Amino acid sequence: MAKNDTPWQTLDSKVMYQNPWMKVHEDKVLMPSGKEGIYGFIDSKPGVFVIALTGDGKIYIIESFRYPTQKWQWELPTGGIEKDTSPLESAKHELAEELGMTAEKWTHVNTFGPSSNGFMNDVQDVFVAEGLHRSEEGSSEEFEAIRAVKAVTIDEIMTMIKNGSLINGQSLAALMQFIAWRDY
Amino acid sequence: MAKNDTPWQTLDSKVMYQNPWMKVHEDKVLMPSGKEGIYGFIDSKPGVFVIALTGDGKIYIIESFRYPTQKWQWELPTGGIEKDTSPLESAKHELAEELGMTAEKWTHVNTFGPSSNGFMNDVQDVFVAEGLHRSEEGSSEEFEAIRAVKAVTIDEIMTMIKNGSLINGQSLAALMQFIAWRDY
């Protein structure tokens, strides 16, 4: 195979750390320069992001506390895809759990990934949920801390993006895919 | 402090793996539910993304091979910020290295992060570079494999996003911030 088709060669691969949500690999590699080195990255579950649209075109966002940054952030409803669960089933699960809602119509918008070019190999599916109904109850996971939920117009989201109130990369990526899907 | 202000409590923190580019932490925590558990995440360098704009409003994109996914992908010029280097200096460095260019005018668009809600705590600065000039030489890092570079209109980028040719989360996030900054 031509050098440009596989610019890195894997000489050896080891799992250096794992927990139920991630594996950290360290591979012994030949780098594009031909020099020997190592490459570490995370292997994690795929995930879903949900754009839950109200009848008047508003999008639900959630203020959630994230452990790695130790910060509250505004984000789209999201979660990992459990084994033997489809992306769509996972999206329905997150809508029920985080917003306490069901939807009449689901549309697959796109798939993005990796979330980090250098460190991850994940894949995230983005869905639009329309025809929203409040379900009996929202149940919160033990891993989750949500302190606010609101529905905002796309103009309000653009303002939040511009003023730095919505900055997490994955929600920005999902919104970019939504806008490209809707407008183009 | 009220429970909602710090929904996770850190009981202990350990570095389980590290290399020159990342540290993997595993913390012993009290989860939002109050139950004891662990949380693993990556601590990595901050980074920059560059929107290099031509005189007629095209944006340069790069086709780069990424080791974690083992795939070629279209992305914006990007790189990590080295110690004792400012985000702007890093952006200038990446423009020179990946495109072989300098720019007359630099504008800080925004900062996004984390790149992955559950697994990372990184911060990425997005810059627009205008008044581009080809410099003497582009020098490629030993970690980098680039096989194509092109300048495309924002409409072409929207088509690439829609048809799944540009799917990496960080470039999508940077483009979302650029569009919000430019249009709103």
B140 contacts A65? CB cut-off 8 A: no
**Is A168 part of the contact surface with chain B (CB cutoff 8 Å)?**
yes
B17 contacts A26? CB cut-off 8 A: yes
Summarize pLDDT for B44-57 with one digit per residue, the tens.
999 999 999 999 99
What's the confidence (pLDDT) of residue B33? 87
Task: Give the mutation candidate from B119, B128, B149, B153 for the A interface (greatest A CB count, under 10 A).
Answer: B119
> How far is CA A68 from its chain centroid?
15
Task: Give the mutation candidate from A30, A35, A51, A115 for the B interface (greatest B CB count, under 10 A).
Answer: A115
Angle between helices A169-183 and B154-162 (to 10 degrees): 100
Segment B85-112 mean pLDDT: 97
B66 contacts in A (CB within 8 Å)? 114, 117-118
B166 contacts in A (CB within 8 Å)? none
Residue by residue, pLDDT tens for chain A (184 residues) are 444 568 899 999 999 999 999 999 999 999 988 999 999 999 999 999 999 999 999 999 999 999 999 999 999 999 999 999 999 999 999 999 999 999 999 999 999 999 999 999 999 999 999 999 998 666 666 677 899 999 999 999 999 999 999 999 999 999 999 999 998 6
**Residue boundaries of the structural domains of chain A:** 3-44, 47-183
Rounded to a whole number, what is the distance in angstroms from the first to the last CA of chain A?
37
A31 contacts B143? CB cut-off 8 A: yes
> In 3D, which of B126, B29, B42 has the Cα closest to residue A22?
B42
Residues near A28 by Cβ (< 8 Å), separated by ≥ 6? A10, A11, A12, A13, A36, A37, A38
A173 contacts B180? CB cut-off 8 A: no
Reported ipTM: the value is 0.95
Summarize pLDDT for A40-88 with one digit per residue, the tens.
999 999 999 999 999 999 999 999 999 999 999 999 999 999 999 999 9
B143 contacts A32? CB cut-off 8 A: yes
Backbone angles phi, psi at A111, to 5 degrees: -130, 130
Provide CATH code, domain B47-183.
Answer: 3.90.79.10
